[in-house]
């Protein structure tokens, strides 16, 4: 049964019972409220980790929901400043109305970036599935030109990533590099595990060669090892890169990197819309689901 279950998760089919995903979410999500997220960040800070906050919720189809999300990001930025946390924010443009209207989304992002700038803070514009890539890069460029405090995300599985890196200006760019987690067709994405790893290291080398600030977002120790080799070869100063990991994933590797003196930022999502995010995390790591299902069937969860 667990083989079929893993297969279902990998295929991204929405057949995983919601209570199961809910149990899984507890591991990856800080809680339902801003307050939960702030206290998680304070805990991470005690271990020496920085944070990036995100409000769960994506693919928003109604304007009021997108406006409410933008309001919440402003509250986050206020709270970060007030509590003097070492944290910035990550936004998904589909949660700010990208699928409703690109102009409307741009106004929401503009408002958030302006608020971040008032606080001397930074906005990471997350990358979603390939249907949003061009619009995301357009809005990132537009707002970065206006505010100068935004960063972008490139996914190593995308065949276009090396060209997208080449198109970046060298000054002021700030890139998060991750493998990519959406299900994309072969025509635009590398599919094999080892190939995505190879392209991750190729992209990272290109970023370092160009002197661009990188958030190295991975829990794959093989890529961490390759990244450490590139940091060494290009003599990248500690303040020109950071490692990035997701809440609930690989805390041991996180501690090892912090102990070695690298800077590390944890992605701390919160909110009520934990289902799609947790389903993607499950697809990435079906082992977690097996444990949860076993505990669930045994009446322990």
Known catalytic residues? 126, 176
Interacting residue with a copy of itself among 13, 15, 145, 259 (CB under 8 A): 259
Binding mask of the shown chain, residues 188 to 227, with x at each position contacting a copy of itself by CB under 8 A: --xxx-xx--xx--x--xx--x-----------xx--xx-
245, two tokens: 């990991």
- Please tell me the distance from the alpha carbon of residue 241 to that of residue 279, in angstroms, as a whole number: 29
Nearest CB to a copy of itself, comparing residues 261 and 299 = 261
DSSP letter assigned to residue 4: H
Which residues in 137-165 are b (16+ Cβ under 10 Å) and which e? bebbeebbeebebbbbbbbbbbebbeebb
* Binding residues for a copy of itself restricted to 131-190, rule: CB under 8 A: 159, 162, 166, 186-187, 190
- Please tell me the distance from the alpha carbon of residue 42 to that of residue 80, in angstroms, as a whole number: 10
Please state whether beta strands 123-125 and 150-155 pair in parallel, antiparallel, or not at all (unpaired): parallel
Q: In this structure, are residues 239 and 268 in contact, taking their beta carbons and an 8 Å threshold?
A: no
Nearest CB to a copy of itself, comparing residues 7 and 193 = 193
Shortest CB 14 distance to a copy of itself, Å:
29
Q: How many chain residues are in contact with a copy of itself, going by CB under 8 A?
A: 28
Nearest CB to a copy of itself, comparing residues 39 and 202 = 202
Closest CA to 133 of 155, 166, 108: 155
Shortest CB 164 distance to a copy of itself, Å:
11
Cross-strand pairs, 53: 89, 268
Cross-strand pairs, 189: 158
Shortest CB 209 distance to a copy of itself, Å:
8
Residues that bind a copy of itself (CB under 8 A): 159, 162, 166, 186-187, 190-192, 194-195, 198-199, 202, 205-206, 209, 221-222, 225-226, 228-229, 232-233, 252, 256, 259-260
């Amino acid at each position: 049964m667990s083989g079929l279950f893993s297969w279902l998760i990998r295929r991204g089919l929405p057949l995983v019972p919601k209570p199961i995903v809910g149990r899984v979410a507890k591991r990856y999500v800080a809680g339902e409220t801003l307050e939960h997220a702030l206290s998680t960040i304070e805990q991470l800070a005690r271990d020496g980790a920085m944070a990036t906050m995100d409000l769960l919720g994506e693919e928003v189809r109604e304007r009021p929901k997108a406006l409410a999300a933008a309001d919440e990001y402003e509250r986050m930025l206020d709270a970060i400043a007030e509590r003097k946390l070492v944290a910035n924010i990550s936004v998904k443009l589909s949660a700010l109305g990208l699928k409703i209207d690109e102009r409307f989304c741009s106004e929401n992002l503009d408002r958030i970036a302006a608020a971040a700038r008032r606080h001397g803070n930074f906005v990471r514009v997350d990358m979603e599935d390939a249907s949003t890539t061009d619009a995301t890069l357009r809005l990132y460029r537009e707002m970065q030109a206006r505010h100068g405090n935004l960063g972008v995300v490139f996914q190593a599985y995308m065949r276009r990533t090396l060209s997208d890196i080449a198109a970046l200006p060298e000054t002021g760019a700030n890139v998060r590099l991750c493998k990519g987690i959406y299900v994309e067709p072969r025509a635009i994405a590398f599919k094999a595990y080892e190939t995505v790893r190879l392209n991750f290291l190729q992209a990272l080398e290109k970023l370092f060669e160009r002197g661009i600030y990188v958030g190295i977002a991975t829990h794959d120790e093989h890529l961490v090892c390759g990244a450490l080799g590139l940091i060494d070869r290009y003599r990248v100063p500690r303040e020109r890169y950071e490692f990035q990991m997701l809440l609930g994933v690989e805390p041991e590797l996180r501690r090892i990197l912090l102990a070695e003196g690298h800077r590390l930022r944890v992605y701390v999502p919160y909110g009520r819309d934990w289902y799609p995010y947790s389903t993607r995390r499950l697809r990435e790591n079906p082992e977690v689901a097996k444990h949860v299902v076993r505990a669930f069937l045994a009446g322990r969860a």
